[in-house]
Amino acid sequence: DQQVKQNSPSLSVQEGRISILNCDYTNSMFDYFLWYKKYPAEGPTFLISISSIKDKNEDGRFTVFLNKSAKHLSLHIVPSQPGDSAVYFCAASGGGGSNYKLTFGKGTLLTVNP
């Protein structure tokens, strides 16, 4: 049972426009959500996170929105740049205790065309 779902395997956007990547989760115990970016042959790189007590977090061109009632989060990149082309993973953790393991989605390949 996949607890974190990224239903779009790929997304193509023009340079300068907005990229919106979506993620849904099913486990109501998740309380911390992260986005990672991954280039080929490299490990995932942390981008931005959001706690369940917030509904928005912004860092430069990157904004993450969280809708707890819908169990949905999204990553907005504005403006998109060719260097943003990568696989983006949504991840979640929660459940308390000392277990902070991340549950990942399958990823969305973003291509930003010049």
Partner 1 sequence: EAGVAQSPRYKIIEKRQSVAFWCNPISGHATLYWYQQILGQGPKLLIQFQNNGVVDDSQLPKDRFSAERLKGVDSTLKIQPAKLEDSAVYLCASSLVGNQPQHFGDGTRLSIL
Give the binding site for partner 1 (CB under 8 A).
4, 32, 34, 36, 41-46, 49, 89, 91, 93, 98-107
Of residues 19 and 36, the one with the C-beta less far from partner 1: 36
Of residues 69 and 99, the one with the C-beta less far from partner 1: 99
**Which 8-state DSSP code applies to residue 28?**
T
Of residues 41 and 70, the one with the C-beta less far from partner 1: 41
Do the beta carbons of residue 37 and residue 90 sit within 8 Å?
no
- State the nearest-atom distance from the C-beta of 15 to partner 1, in Å: 27
Q: In terms of Cα–Cα distance, which of 32, 29, 27, 31 is closest to 46?
A: 32
Sign of CA dihedral 23, 68, 49, 13: positive
- State the nearest-atom distance from the C-beta of 102 to partner 1, in Å: 6
- State the nearest-atom distance from the C-beta of 80 to partner 1, in Å: 22
Spatial distance between the Cα atoms of 17 and 100, rounded to a whole number of angstroms = 35
Do the beta carbons of residue 112 and residue 81 sit within 8 Å?
yes
- State the nearest-atom distance from the C-beta of 16 to partner 1, in Å: 28
